[in-house]
Amino acid sequence: MTRMYDMLQQDITYLPGVGPQRAKLLKDELQIGTLRDLLYYFPYKHIDRTRLYYIHELTADMPYVQLRGHILSFETEGEGRKRRLVAHFTDGHGKVELVWFQGIKYVMSRYKLHTEYIVFGKPSVYGGRINIAHPDLDPADGFSLSALGMQPYYTVTEKMKRQGINSRSLERFTATLFSRLDAPLPETLPAYIVEQLCLMPLDEALRKVHYPATAEELRRAMLRLKFEELFYLQLNILRYARDRQCRYRGFVFARVGGAFHRFYEERLPFSLTGAQKRVIREIRHDMGSGRQMNRLLQGDVGSGKTLVALMCMLIAVDNGFQACIMAPTEILAEQHCATFRQFLGDMDVEVALLTGSVKGKQREAVLAGIRNGDIQILVGTHAVLEDTVDFRSLGLVVIDEQHRFGVAQRARLWGKSAQPPHVLVMTATPIPRTLAMTLYGDLDVSVIDELPPGRKPIRTMHRFDNNREGLYKAVRQQLDEGRQAYVVFPLISESEKMDIKNLEDGYEHLCKVFPEYKISKVHGRMKPAEKDEEMRKFQSGETRILVATTVIEVGVNVPNASVMVIENAERFGLAQLHQLRGRVGRGADQSYCLLVTRYQLSEDTRRRIQIMTETNDGFEIAEADLKLRGPGDLEGTQQSGVAFDLKLANLARDGQILQLARDTAQRVLDGDPQGTLQENALLWQQLQALRKAHVDWSAIS
């Protein structure tokens, strides 16, 4: 086993056929530096080369096919850039056109008429006729179906292609490597897991994932390798969650006292929903259990997370502790502070604000109040993390819109308390279950899945940008009724590369269209003070239209705003569209979201827009977004402690395998909490090897 491990650590340079130049290219372009890296560089697809088709069987919706026959004639068509070479190919049962748009001279010099070839490519239709563009042609001499099997295709970069390394080259390197392995690759999962789950052994799975004989072999090999990736990821998360529970005791909030009861009985502005009550019970249980709470609170925009957070902070206050809520922007922090003070009224609970704008004597007074415990609830931004902020007894930290804060920043909050405070992480970006299990697998999850009574669902409509008259008529109708409107643009100023609406032009145009109404504009290049001033004008109703970029995605609460117009909606992802839409619908009036796009849209974009018009359910939207875009695009993934790269597993599509991996990891931990059983020695050794290159953020939510 050790000999095989050492061999796989060898530099790729020494694999026959590679050499120093190609090795440098493989390292620079694909991060393949060792033989093991090559083994774990998987094909992105396989094509079945186990059968030949007849030309008369071809249709445009078929995948890649193989034909056997000969070329009857060549002809060139079109001029200049539209010039193409057409070969008329027959197998004796029909004819098909082979087409090349580049390398015409090379093709004509290489392939001969009336010589038998195997043609490989994807059929399509042009001008009512089936053709195959840029096919592979190989001489039919010595052709054998069974020898080819399922052919692997590897991703290579343009630079590699220019220097003569393509998918076929990688196929040859991998084949050479397998031919030199004179013993099976050492197993990376304990035998009892492989047997219980009927998984392919690792050696067989790695060989078959590159060179399967059938689609079923490929499926089983993929299952084994995906399971292993997800199993170690879940084992890592669950083990640290358990370690943290054992290592860190939590402050015990033993009672629900006067502040909570008075607020609930006298100050609560409306009845709590069933979901809010359930979540408060879950948090209350955590904070009284003696273990340190790490809980993720998910709830759609407007579901009442802030009220839940305040009531939980009152439990901390009732137990003699301070509580702190951190928001990503000054305006959101100010909004939270104003909301808390309004909710609490004349109650004897001291709430203070700390942001970058709080300066001089006012700041000194706030810092002193935090130090001596007079300030019981602190609302702040990143300013809370500064060394000068010293709490007397910090018992609960609430982090709003968690993806705006990195792990290291959250870690600094821990240092402000004698022992780690309870942590409640809130997000209005619903996270699909599979992603939550991975990114936030060490957090307990609470969900507010009910909107407060009286809220009307936002009506979302799709409009094309060539019908501005109808669009502006709908907006004017709302403004004339005394409402306000947002208009969101994807760009601040004109871009040469992108023909999409920009904020500066849009602002000028809207000033002409709505001369009777005052208009604000807000974007990321403005100074914070300017931005805040424009936001305040809109919040107070002084301006009636707010023209903005996505800086308003998180935060501003204007119940009177009933229209959200999103220009070039095709430029935004589903999660972002849903967040922007959530800026309206905060009052009792019917609100509208108008998604404006150009007429020509891709299939994916049409699907996105359709999903937005059909549902207001953030979780449904998040699942769809994950399927359409994949997990890599979702904000915060790099900060959230995913310890290993996923090479094969896809969180959008492999939910069942992920659940199986998590259940298996949980059983391992339950049966071997100290990690001392001999049957699991390999497992802990493998986990250690996988974690070597990664920072240990294990203690932090």
Q: What is the pLDDT of residue 108?
A: 87
One domain for residues 436 and 487: no
Q: How far apart are CA 339 and CA 290, in angstroms?
A: 31
pLDDT of 54 strictly over 50: yes
Determine the residue type at 446.
Answer: S
Of 615, 636, 665, which residue constitutes the final position of a domain?
615
The answer to whether residues 132 and 192 belong to one domain is: no
Give residue 182's Cα distance to chain centre. Answer: 41
Residues 423 and 280 both lie in one domain: yes
Bigger pLDDT: 239 or 149?
239
Residue 192 has pLDDT above 60, yes or no: yes
Q: Does residue 575 lie in a domain region?
A: yes
Taking a C-beta distance cutoff of 8 angstroms, is the pair 444, 287 a contact? Answer: no
Residue 496 pLDDT: 45
How far, in Å, are 164, 250, 285, 399, 480 from residue 279 at the CA level? 59, 19, 10, 16, 40
For the chain, the domain total comes to 3
pLDDT level of residue 406 (50, 70, 90 thresholds): low
Alpha helices by DSSP H, 573-694: 574-581, 603-614, 618-629, 655-671, 681-691
Q: What is the mean pLDDT of the chain?
A: 83
The DSSP code for 679 is: G
pLDDT in tens, 314-342: 999 999 999 999 988 887 888 889 889 98
d(CA 123, CA 58) in angstroms, rounded, equals 7
Counts of helices then strands in the chain (DSSP H, E)? 25, 22
Percent of the chain with pLDDT over 90: 33
Q: Report the candidate in 139, 89, 68, 83 with the shortest Cα–Cα distance to residue 110.
A: 139
Question: pLDDT tens for residues 501-550?
Answer: 688 888 889 999 999 999 998 887 778 778 878 888 888 889 999 998 87
Residue 416 and residue 278 share a domain: yes
Helix axes 603-614, 618-629, angle to 10 degrees: 170
Which of 651 and 277 is assigned the larger pLDDT? 277
Burial of 398 (0-12, 13-18, 19+ CB in 10 A): buried
C-beta neighbour count of 437 within 10 angstroms: 21
Higher-confidence residue: 5 or 359?
359
Residue 668 pLDDT greater than 90, yes or no:
yes
Q: Is residue 347 part of a domain?
A: no
Residues 463, 443 share a domain: no
Q: 179 in a domain, yes or no?
A: no
Boundary residue ending a domain (565, 598, 615) = 615
Give the pLDDT of residue 412: 73
Angle among Cα 128, 133, 137 to the nearest 5 degrees reads 130
- The pLDDT tens digits of the residues spanning 587-614 come to 767 899 999 998 888 878 888 898 899 8
CATH no. for residue 237? 3.40.50
Task: Give the pLDDT band of residue 700 (cuts 50, 70, 90).
Answer: very low
353 pLDDT above the threshold of 60: yes
Judge whether 87 lies within some domain. Answer: yes
**512 & 591 share domain:** yes
Q: Based on the domain organization, do 307 and 438 belong to the same domain?
A: yes
304, burial (CB in 10 Å: exposed 0-12, middle 13-18, buried 19+)? buried
In a domain? residue 271:
yes
23-32, 125-134, 396-405 — which is least confidently predicted?
Answer: 396-405
Are 408 and 533 part of one and the same domain?
A: no
Q: What is the pLDDT of residues 133-160, one digit of tens each?
A: 888 888 888 676 655 567 888 888 888 8
Residue 362, domain member (yes or no) = no
The sign of the dihedral angle between the CA atoms of 598, 600, 601, 607 is positive
CATH code assigned at 60 = 2.40.50.140
User: Domain span at residue 228?
Assistant: 187-321+393-455+648-701
Q: What is the pLDDT of residue 645?
A: 64
**Least confident residue range of 292-306, 428-442, 651-665:** 428-442
Stretch 41-60: mean pLDDT, rounded? 83
Answer whether residue 439 shows pLDDT above 70.
no
pLDDT of residue 165: 84
pTM of the predicted model as reported, rounded to 2 decimal places:
0.63
Stretch 293-317: mean pLDDT, rounded?
88
Q: What is the mean pLDDT of residues 578-584?
A: 85
Percent of the chain's residues with pLDDT above 70: 88
Average pLDDT over residues 157-174: 85
In this structure, the answer to whether residues 606 and 684 fall within a common structural domain is no
654 and 608, same structural domain? no
Sign of the alpha-carbon dihedral angle for 667, 670, 672, 675? positive
Q: Compute the Cα dihedral for 134, 140, 145, 151 and give only its sign.
A: negative
Q: Per-residue pLDDT for 554 more than 70?
A: no
- Any domain includes 686: yes
Cβ pair 317, 394 in contact under 8 A = no
Would you state the pLDDT for residue 555?
Answer: 55
- With respect to residue 640, please indicate whether it lies within any of the assigned structural domains: no
pLDDT at 636: 37
Lowest mean pLDDT among 1-5, 46-50, 350-354, 460-464: 1-5
CATH of the domain at 470: 3.40.50.300
378 closest CA partner among 407, 428, 421: 421
Q: Is the per-residue pLDDT at 10 higher than 60?
A: yes
Residue 223: per-residue pLDDT: 94
Are 589 and 662 within one domain?
A: no
Are 437 and 476 found together in one domain? Answer: no
